[in-house]
């Protein structure tokens, strides 16, 4: 059984690496995937890794989701580069999309290896549906601060694209990779341990 330990330089390095990965994936998602209504990327595959990193690496993954969304957004969206104050608010969408499943899985003590129906339900509800609803609403709202946006179109593009990619990748990655990740010293059982 693992014992709680103080964060070490390993977690600082992990967080830095996760930020780099999330930033690169956010930038690639926006630059190389076609945009739909409101300039929203049709499939934002970066969100799947943000969720997985938070579930496997706790708050370190959630921090990386926020910073990666912020940097990826600023690097790939001219409007966010010109308005960094909005970019800071907009990046909360990435944080919420990673933090909601993290908190839910920890509160309900779901097994990330998805061994039973209850664990699957918790991950699908909080890691695919609710988090993407909240993220889409927050993201589209903040983008509307930059100028006129077709809110319904942008919201549905964001939501549907994220649900498709997260339902395809997150449960499978959890089911087949979690056991390997749990064996590493970097796996975080709660939020910071």
Residue pair 85/61 in contact (Cβ under 8 Å)? The answer is: no
Residues 6+ apart with CB under 8 A from 16: none
The tens place of each residue's pLDDT in the chain, 193 residues long, gives 444 555 578 999 999 999 999 999 999 988 888 777 667 888 899 999 999 999 999 999 999 999 999 998 888 877 677 878 888 998 999 999 999 999 999 999 999 999 999 999 999 999 999 999 999 999 899 888 888 888 999 999 999 999 999 999 999 999 999 999 999 999 999 998 7
Q: Which pLDDT belongs to residue 30?
A: 83
Positive/negative CA dihedral, 102, 107, 111, 116: negative
Q: Which of 176, 187, 192, 193 is nearest to 53 (CA)?
A: 187
Q: Which pLDDT belongs to residue 7?
A: 56
Beta-bridged to residue 35, according to DSSP, are: 41
At the second CATH level, the architecture of 9-182 is Orthogonal Bundle (1.10)
Helical axes 92-107 vs 59-76, angle rounded to 10°: 160
**How far is 151 from 13, CA to CA, in rounded Å?**
38
Q: Which pLDDT belongs to residue 4?
A: 56
Q: Which pLDDT belongs to residue 6?
A: 55
């Amino acid at each position: 059984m693992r014992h709680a330990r103080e964060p070490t330089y390993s977690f600082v390095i992990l967080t830095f690496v996760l930020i780099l990965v999330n930033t690169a994936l956010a930038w690639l998602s926006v630059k190389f995937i076609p945009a739909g209504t409101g300039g929203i990327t049709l499939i934002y595959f970066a969100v799947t890794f943000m969720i997985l990193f938070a579930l496997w690496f706790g708050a370190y993954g959630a921090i990386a989701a926020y910073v990666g969304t912020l940097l990826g957004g600023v690097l790939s969206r001219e409007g966010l580069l010109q308005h960094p104050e909005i970019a800071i608010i907009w990046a909360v969408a990435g944080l919420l999309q990673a933090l909601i499943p993290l908190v839910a899985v920890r509160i309900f003590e779901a097994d990330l290896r998805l061994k039973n129906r209850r664990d699957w339900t918790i991950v699908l509800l909080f890691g695919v549906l609710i988090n993407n609803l909240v993220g889409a609403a927050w993201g589209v709202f903040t983008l509307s601060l930059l100028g006129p946006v077709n809110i319904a179109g942008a919201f549905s593009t964001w939501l549907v694209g994220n649900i498709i990619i997260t339902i395809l990748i997150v449960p499978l990655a959890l089911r087949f990779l979690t056991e390997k990740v749990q064996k590493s010293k970097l796996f975080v059982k709660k939020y910071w341990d």
